[in-house]
Structure formats: C-alpha cells, structure tokens
Amino acid sequence: MITYGIGGPALFLTNESAGKSLLGASDGPIIAYAFLAGVAIQVTMALLYKTAMWHLYMGELDPEVKTAHLHRFWAWFSEKYWIEFASDAGPLLSS
C-alpha cells in the first residue's frame, strides 16, 4: 500500500502528460491528498503495530511488565484485526 501511495504521485511527477492531466482535473488536489493520506495511514499503522509488538516482547522478557496498563492496552490493540483491516481497506476503497 505504501508503494502504491508513493508510486501514484511519483508517476504524476515524472510523466509529463499524467502530471498535466492531474493538474487540469478539477479533483487533482483531492487525488494528490488522497494518495498522501493513504501513505500517512499506512506509516502510522506500521509504527503503532511496531510499538505494540515491542511492548509485548518486553512483557515476555519481564513478566512484571505484563501487569502494566500500557502493556494491556498494546496487547488489546495487537489482537484487534478490524483496526488493521480498516487501515488497509480505507485507502484501498477510497482510491
């Protein structure tokens, strides 16, 4: 998804006719922002899931960490498939 989100704007920047057609379109800015928003969502979700996995790993190294509220939150977050699905499906459906 990130490659798709970066590839779209790169195409418009490197291909003169594609860039002109985007600039000439009334929805051009919306299309550009949609690509960038998709990338931002994907990067944000990757950071959130990396944070969750780090907290879960720390809990495996030190069992006392598992009792912390933050660890329980990240454990909950990591088990919610619908959050990941929505973050992937949202940009895909909007394009």
Which has the closest alpha carbon to 31: 44, 42, 43, 18?
Answer: 18
What's the confidence (pLDDT) of residue 76? 96
Q: Band the pLDDT of 1: cuts 50, 70, 90.
A: low
What's the confidence (pLDDT) of residue 36? 79
What's the confidence (pLDDT) of residue 91? 66
Q: How far apart are CA 33 and CA 85, in angstroms?
A: 21
CB atoms under 10 Å from CB of 6, counted, come to 15
What's the confidence (pLDDT) of residue 5? 62
- Whether 16 has a pLDDT exceeding 90, the answer reads no
pTM recorded for the entire structure: 0.71
Span 20-75, pLDDT tens digits? 777 777 777 787 787 778 888 888 999 999 999 999 999 999 999 999 999 999 99
What's the confidence (pLDDT) of residue 34? 79
Residue 93: exposed, middle, or buried by beta-carbon count in 10 A (0-12, 13-18, 19+)? Answer: exposed
Q: How far apart are CA 18 and CA 20, in angstroms?
A: 5
**Cβ(45)–Cβ(36) under 8 Å?**
no
